[in-house]
Amino acid sequence: MYSLSFIYLPAPPNLKFKMQNERTYIKGELVCYHCGDICNDKSIVKDDKIFCCTSCKLVYEILEENNLCKYYTLDDNPGISPPERNKTKYEYLEDEQMISSLVDYTDGKITILTLQIPQMHCSSCIWLLENLYKLDNGIVYSRVNFPQKKLNLKYLNDKTNLKQIAELLDSLGYEPMFNLEAIEKGTRNKYNKKLYYKIGIAGFAFGNIMLFSFPEYLGLDKIIDPLFRSFFGYLNLIISLPVFFYCSSDYFISAYKGIKNRIINIDFPLSLGILVIFLRSAFEILSHTGAGYSDSMTGLVFFLLIGKLFQNKTYDSLNFERSYKSYFPLSVTVMKSAKETTIPLSKLKIGNRMVIRNGELIPADSILFKGEANIDYSFATGESIPVNKVLGEVIYAGGRQYGPTIELEVIKNVSQSYLTQLWNSNSFVKQKKNTISEISNIFGKYFTYAILIVALVSTAIWMNINPSEALNVFTAILIIACPCALALSMPFTLGNMMRIFGKNKFYIKNTAVVEKLSKINTIVFDKTGTITLNGISEIEFIGSDLNNFECSLVKSLARNSTHPLSRAIYQYLNDYKDYNISEFREISGHGISGSILNNSVKLGSSKFLSGDIKLLDYKEKQNSSEVFLSINEDIKGYFSLKNSYREGLKDLIGKLSQKYELHLLSGDNENEKELLKDFFNDSNNLHFNQAPENKLDYIKALQLSGKKVMMIGDGLNDAGALKQSDVGISISEDINSFSPMCDAILDSDMLIRLHEFILLSSKSMKIIIMSFIFSLLYNIAGLSLAVKGLLTPINAAILMPVSSISVVLFCVIATNFIAKRKNFSIKN
């Protein structure tokens, strides 16, 4: 599954085959030997291998020179085409302070550090990254942690440095991710080693005590030497000590905290059960009156801990706690005494002059000083179309520049900027949401009351019949009533549902999200990037028909521009030939022009083209952008590009609106209001021009009116609303790329099945209630033995595992069954 070739190239063998000369074809198209992309230009050849671009060839040459071509034999076309970069990109890594904040350990000679490399995707990557020492002899070793996409490096300070390593990785296509968050170490959730220790110890104790209790089980204890009885008894007691004092400590702590807050949670009857079993066992063994129930106690703790492990499954490579810090770069280029230098972002001060290149992010509020700004705010604010800014205008942080290099003067610190201020708001300071499940608490409370009443009443009755047996009955009831099956049904049902969700590209932060999902009654959508596609997909050309050659001309021109509209047109004409272009010019906000094989081609706004556009049957439309085309000053027509909605959206909203109240909050303008009215029944719930704080407040207001709100968004501007909502879901095209702090990450392909995910959540809660009833039956059966004073260690030892295992099986099978019936995949 981890190999890219499995994900992207599932084609049957007849569609994809390797020729003897190492050229790979997919569906008849020649693909790059390095990265597997389709080669448009077939002139980049080296050693009879074809590459899609010179950077891919360059990587091949580096690897070839160092005898590392095995890289290509482990997986098909494993490479990553490295992006173009400027020479100063990693200059900030020379800063001593910066280095010391990034490394794990250094003594001046040897340095150890961990790098985040999101691009690693297959076994070839692991191999190459672990053989880095062959490319840089200063590297002592490098080790990959694939699930976390991390590379652990050790290097000699006198032979290499961090900047050199970063540049090496970058040149191979494995761009190490440096961002503000990487500096703040230790925030990443470490998996719980303690839980493993506890399971190990509890499992050890459980197994051994069972073994030593065999004479008891088989009734042999009456015929063998009483010496053995006490020997086994003491041994069992000693082994169960660490289980009681160490392994089950979490339950006691949780129950104690609950009582302190005047809540009886599910851990209370569990702790009570464990405590009573242990005390009674200790008493029986020490007073030589019985064998005790140490086996039941250790088994119970063992099963509970296994359930906890199952519930605690996390997605190593995903991070649900991201703030703007992981979106912002670590460094920024500034002008210092008329020279460009790269400084760490933390050293950026008011008054500094920043240099922002094409595609770079603006990290702080600033004033445009030089150049023409064309800022894409789609991720930061939700505006779908890039905005033009003129000299002297304020540019807010979070946008990306598309176009020529610009210079800006910083007017606010990074943490005080318009966008980042959102993180100073109350909802981010607020305590974490309560993750203890409501349903189990309610259940735990009534269960505890019921058990205590039964125990007290039957003890009172026994006091009259046979006072010497009364205490035995009292403890027996508390032992048998220990709701272990009940406590197991939650983690296994929810944990399994979480696993199924993950298999279907819906990654939730923890199991509590399933329960919260089932209670949702209001859903709030963001627009840009959430219900609309990032980028523009529906394109048509209106005007005189273009022949193949003309299409090639347009494609060749559009290829040179990074403007979203040009990219869209380029992709639309992907099947046509490319030509070399001369005299390319891009005038931001207007259009592009160039000369191709002596034909002058222009693409852009109507004003950009000299000529009479009135000849065209053209009306300005609300939900689309137009790009006009002229070839040799002859106006051919225009491309109409529609801001398109995700496929299946109408269907999804139709289904959701039957059960839930739907709202839309967009940072964009009202252009699409009329169109969106078709989707959403109630147009009063459509809100436009919403700033990040407005979104947050809107969710708060909904919650105050008693609604359980689910927010679905994608960008930084939704971060506040996602955090505030009961369930915040972040939509992502690529789950390894940035997504704001949220409860769940949903792959954009699966958005159309959102209603089914919610349905599965509520069905999971029903399964839990069913298994509660199921385990109650076991408890009643056990209680009927206990109140009659018939509970023997062997009964307890049989009943406890049987009830636990059957409840666990029921939960897992039932969740798999309902998921399968909804056509969700449940296997890898």
Rule CB under 8 A: which residues touch other proteins? 2, 47, 64, 67-70, 74, 123, 126-127, 130-131, 144-148, 191, 193, 196-197, 200-201, 204, 207-208, 211-212, 224-225, 228, 231, 235
- Cβ neighbours around 225 below 10 Å, total: 9
- For tokens 């073994």, name the residue: 211
State which residue, 123 or 405, has the beta carbon closest to other proteins: 123
DSSP state of 569: H
Taking the least distance from each CB to other proteins, the nearer of 212 and 541 is 212
Minimum distance of other proteins from residue 451's CB (angstroms)? 34
Nearer to other proteins, 131 or 416 (CB): 131
**Closer CB to other proteins, residue 14 or residue 67?**
67
Nearer to other proteins, 15 or 69 (CB): 69
With respect to other proteins, which residue has the nearer C-beta, 52 or 68? 68
Compute the least distance from the CB of residue 225 to other proteins, in Å.
Answer: 6
Closest approach, Cβ 247 to other proteins, in A, equals 12
By C-beta, is 74 or 241 nearer to other proteins? Answer: 74
Give the nearer residue to other proteins in terms of CB position, either 148 or 415: 148
- Please state, in angstroms and rounded to a whole number, the distance separating the CA atoms of residues 63 and 70: 9
Residues ≥6 apart with Cβ < 8 Å to 468:
none
Beta carbon of residue 238, minimum distance to other proteins (angstroms, whole number): 10
Minimum distance of other proteins from residue 70's CB (angstroms): 5
Q: How do the residues of the chain divide into helix, strand and coil, expressed in percent and rounded to 5?
A: 45, 20, 35
CB 363 within 8 A of CB 329: yes
Residues 664 and 657: their CA atoms lie apart, in Å, by 12
Alpha-carbon distance of 596 to 119, in angstroms, equals 36
Q: How far is the CB of 123 from other proteins (least distance, A)?
A: 5
Closer residue to other proteins (CB): 224 or 798: 224
For 7-39, the DSSP string reads HH----TTTEEE-TTS-EEETTEEE-TTT-PBP
Q: How far is CA 105 from CA 12, 102, 111, 493, in A?
A: 49, 9, 6, 42
State in angstroms the smallest separation of the CB of 150 from other proteins: 9
Nearer to other proteins, 211 or 442 (CB): 211
Q: How far is CA 758 from CA 447, 520, 522, 761, 811, in A?
A: 28, 8, 12, 5, 18
In whole angstroms, the minimum distance from the beta carbon of 433 to other proteins comes to 28
- Quote the CA–CA distance of 273 and 370 in Å, as a whole number: 73
Nearer to other proteins, 147 or 467 (CB): 147
Amino acid (one-letter) located at 45: V
Q: Could you give the CA distance from residue 104 to residue 620 in angstroms, rounded to a whole number?
A: 58
The DSSP secondary-structure symbol of 751 reads G
CB of 236 to other proteins, least distance (A): 11
CB of 563 to other proteins, least distance (A): 41
Residue 764 C-beta: closest distance to other proteins, Å: 26
Of the candidates 288, 272, 199, 208, the residue with the CA atom closest to the CA atom of residue 240: 208
DSSP letters, 294-358, are HHHHHHHHHHHHHHHHHHT---TT--S---GGGTSBSEEEEEETTEEEEEEGGG--TT-EEEE-T
What backbone torsions phi and psi does residue 184 show, to the nearest 5 degrees?
-80, 90
Spatial CB neighbours of 278, under 8 Å, sequence gap ≥ 6 = 240, 244, 294, 297
Dihedral sign from CA coordinates of 236, 239, 245, 249: negative
- Helix axis angle, 484-503 relative to 438-465, nearest 10°? 160
* Tokens of residue 391, six digits: 């000299």
Q: Three-class SS of residue 249?
A: helix
CA distance 222 to 393: 93
Residues 370 and 390: their CA atoms lie apart, in Å, by: 9
Closer residue to other proteins in complex, CB, 232/541: 232
Q: Which is nearer to other proteins, 211 or 675 (CB)?
A: 211
State in angstroms the smallest separation of the CB of 196 from other proteins: 4
Looking at the Cβ atoms of 67 and 468, the one nearer to other proteins is 67
Looking at beta carbons only, is 144 or 523 nearer to other proteins? 144
Please list, in sequence order, all residues whose beta carbon lies within 8 angstroms of the beta carbon of residue 310, skipping any fewer than 6 positions away: 491, 492, 495, 496
Smallest gap from Cβ 112 to other proteins, in A, equals: 14
Torsion-angle region of residue 607: left (phi > 0), alpha (psi -120 to 50) or beta? Answer: alpha
**Nearest distance, CB of residue 639 and other proteins, angstroms:** 46
Q: CB of residue 186 vs other proteins: minimum separation in angstroms?
A: 16
Joined tokens for residue 430: 């607020």
Q: How far, CA to CA in Å, does 335 sit from each of 341, 351, 367, 398, 621?
A: 6, 11, 15, 20, 43
Min CB(33)–other proteins separation in Å: 12
For other proteins, give the closer residue by CB, 211 or 780: 211
Q: Which two tokens stand for residue 527?
A: 């627009």
* Alpha carbons within 13 A on the beta-carbon side of 292: 35
Nearer to other proteins by C-beta: 15 or 224?
224
Sign of CA pseudo-dihedral 686, 692, 694, 697 = positive
Nearer to other proteins, 204 or 608 (CB): 204
**Smallest distance, other proteins to C-beta of residue 126, A:** 5
* CA atoms of 268 and 255, how far apart (whole Å): 5
Supply the minimum distance, in Å, between the C-beta of residue 306 and other proteins.
15
